[in-house]
Amino acid sequence: MKNIVILISGRGSNMEAIVKACGAGGWPARIAAVISNRPDAAGLAFARSHGIATAVVDHQAFGKGDSARVAFDAELQRVIDGFDPDLVVLAGFMRILTPGFTAHYAGRMLNVHPSLLPAFTGLHTHRRAIEAGCRVAGATVHFVTAELDHGPIVAQAVVPVLDGDDESALATRILALEHRMYPSVVRWFVEDKLAVDGARVRHRGGEPQMFS
Ligand code: GAR
- Which CATH number covers residue 149? 3.40.50.170
pLDDT at 43: 98
Residues 1 and 101 in one domain: yes
| Residue 54 and residue 13 share a domain | yes
Residue list for the binding site for (6R)-10-formyltetrahydrofolate: 69, 94-97, 111
Task: Give the Cα separation of 54 and 31 in Å (integer).
Answer: 10
For residue 149, the enclosing domain spans 112-212
Question: Residues 93, 139: one domain?
Answer: no
Taking Cα atoms as reference points, which of 41, 147, 43 lies closest to residue 99?
Answer: 147
User: Tell me: the pLDDT tens digits for 86-116?
Assistant: 999 999 999 999 999 999 999 999 999 999 9
| Closest Cα to atom 6 of ligand 1 | 92
- The domain boundary residue, chosen from 52, 85, 105: 105
CB 62 within 8 A of CB 68: yes
Q: Are residues 21 and 61 in the same domain?
A: yes
113 catalytically annotated: yes
Please list the residues that pair with 54 across neighbouring strands. 34
Locate the ligand 1 atom nearest the alpha carbon of residue 10 and give its number.
Answer: 16
Give residue 8's pLDDT: 98
- Count the domains in the chain: 2
Question: Of 60, 77, 105, which one is at a domain's C-terminal end?
Answer: 105
Q: What residues of the chain score a pLDDT lower than 70?
A: none
User: Is the alpha carbon torsion for 41, 98, 81, 21 positive or negative?
Assistant: positive
Atom of ligand 1 nearest to the CA of 15: 18
Return the pLDDT at 121: 98
Q: Are residues 130 and 30 in the same domain?
A: no
Q: Rounded to the nearest whole angstrom, what is the distance from the C-alpha of residue 91 to the centroid of ligand 1?
A: 6
Question: Which residues does ligand 1 sit against, CB inside 6 Å?
Answer: 8, 10-14, 91-92, 112-114, 139, 175, 178
In a shared domain, residues 1 and 95: yes
**177 and 138 Cβ atoms separated by less than 8 Å:** yes
59, 113, 142, 179: the catalytic one is 113
User: Which residues define the annotated binding site?
Assistant: 12-14, 69, 94-97, 111
Per the confidence metrics, is the pTM higher than 0.95?
Answer: yes
Residue 56 β-bridge partners: 36
